[in-house]
Structure 1
Amino acid sequence: MPPRGAKTDDLLDALAALVVAEQIAAGRGKPYPNPPEFDEFGLPAAIWSFEVDRISSSQPSKPGLPKTLTNAAITRAHIEAAHARIAPHVRRTPSWTLPGAFGHDGPVSLKLEFLQHAGSFKTRGAFNTLLSKPVPAAGVAAASGGNHGAAVAYAAKQLGLKARIFVPEISSPAKIAVIRSHGADVVIGGARYADAQAACDRYVAESGALRIHPFDADATIAGQGTVALEWEADAAPLDTVLIAVGGGGLISGVASWWAGRVKVVGVEPEGSRALHAALEAGKPVDVDVDSIAADSLGARNTGDLVYSICGNSVDHVALVTDEAIRQAQAQLWRDWRIATEPGGATALAALTSGAYKPKPGERVGVLLCGANVELAKLDSVVQSLA
């Protein structure tokens, strides 16, 4: 009970202040703005919050818990701060609303994120990480199927930092060429992404370089969430957004921004379904990867942070075939002259194949997330489906 003379809300204010003070003492406090501004008396003034600890994968969301009530570690405030941080360094990619397209009678909003620097949304997370964390003299390191590496290489170059990128043998020559064009050292080895990640981890342990995780890290997720912040500001209101999923950093950021306000649906290839498997199992699990989109959507495991966010904030995951992805790639090129890699067309494939069936008039958003495609391969896809 509140002390005499105090009201219930006074007690709640005091308890909230106590919790935040404890987090500040533990080094997890975060002021907004950061650094704090000063009032007319010269005293620092800010709203304080704190970084929520990661939720263990052994604690899935409780059955029946509304998805608007989430313990996700990434808040809208984190995403707004990330956007202010990276805005001078990234493109504000356009959104394009089509009044009935791709077999749907309602409006379809395309977020053209494939126009981002280095060819994908991942540039957002890379800049947010490099601008919010101390970078050692050894520079930065990342493991990547291609797009994350290109983004880290681009961001490091723009900020005058050294970068070493580890890629698996399945990475496309086009993506490796993009990474090298930005001045990064490229190490090719191992059949799959997990092999490249292991090599990257060994290098980080030996050199002290800053590892930039492609998806399961708070700075990465907050950076990727800025795409939703822009989309909401620039486009008409949406009911549902379709987001391609590899490791889950992008959909975690988007879901953190729109949780409880817009339905967020993940889209994965049938042969690369890390998030779908995690939501089924109630925890992150390893999956086999075999898809034409594996070089960008080929993570074997989502990780704990991605799972904790998506388990509460993502409506469901739709699975699409490789053939549906090829069809979406071909349609984007044939009808709109948009060249995307398989991963970049995967979200659209859910709409064009019927893996996601919107209601009549439903306002659907589709994120086109990656453009690093070998044009000869795209041509062969188009020709084979002609």
Structure 2
Amino acid sequence: MTKRALILLEGHPMGNGVLYVQAARRLGLTPITLSGDPARYDYLAAEGIEAIRVDTDNLDALIGECSRLRATYDIGGITGFAFYDESVSATVGKLCRHFRLPGPNPVSIERCCDKFTQRELLAEAGVLVPAYRLAANATEVESSAAEIGLPVILKPAVGNGSSGVRLCRNADEISEHTTYLLGGKHIWRSSPRILIEEFAEGPSYTVVIMGNEVVAIAAADFDPPPHFVFRGSTFPAPLRDDEHKHIADVSLSCLRALGLGWGPTAIELHWTKRGPVVIEVNPRLSGAPDPQLVQLAYGIDLITEHIKLVIGEEWDLRRRHSQTAAARFVIPDRDGTLDWIGGDSQAAAVPGVVEAKLFVESKAPIVRKGNYRDCLGRIVAVSPSLAQTEAILQRAVDLIDWSITPFPPLGDDVLP
């Protein structure tokens, strides 16, 4: 009997990738990963997953590889994700259309991945977004910031994970960050274009959507500006019923404006004095550990249900229970050499803690980048109430400890 395969483009090194391959196996599928560099995903070897090296930016090469695999496997579906490059989702859509498999609309995905185009479409549809401008050079950045009014946020028009995103409160900070973005230090995955935005102050929320259904809304926590390093999230967000409905309605308006509504979407917004202001619409599943938190809070396995959609089966988004699940990320407070880090075993033993995981080892150089790569580890907890879950998390976080020796001053030694 021919094995039924699930093709996964690229992967996710910090959580969701291994969950997809495990869920695929539970559904009786053989997961196969296509990647430009399979070695970047440690879980592939650990799980014994077939991984094929192929240029995932080359659609013809991917079509050829999938066609070759069809000689051995019944390809049930194709999906994929790459935390460093959301254009993978558009490629998935193109592959699905070529092989007549269920998948997202690649045109909608591509428009969504360009933050300026996304802003334009949302604004045209009447969705509240921050005031914004697009710039290609320092002069345009400076004039755009003056038009919007300080402070402003500067970010790449295409990118993710808060890479290259900074709040600028004065002209010097604008000049400094513009030089960083355009001066060769920032890695661009498209032509350099900078989005200048109004700073929308207010509590942050993440909306988790599958298809056209709002599955959950989380409260999101970030490090203080100027950078926006993600510190954690809580499901469900502590909202009144009318606030929950307002956020859900705005989120569904985003789907209509952007032509989305197939598969997963993650929407980031801030609740400001004007109400919910949409910061970003991501045409993908929320990053880890959000799917894990949704399952702990509601009993909904988003990854399994997404795979069911991908292979053309009926999904089930019904809630099985109601708990409060939250995650806290471990973020360093300085640059330097990590002398030691520990306490994860003790944190994992705290009642209510589901996961306590460290992502780095002793002697690693710590150079904060102001984005998702600053994370040293994470803790996940669940309980029947918000207050109890927060207390569990705090107890566990207090058990994680580390020592960082600052780098020697420039000129005295060479930084690692």
Asked if Structure 1 and Structure 2 have the same fold, meaning a TM-score greater than 0.5 normalized by the shorter chain, the answer is: no
Bigger fraction of residues in strand: 2
Bigger fraction of residues in helix: 1
TM-score (norm 2): 0.27
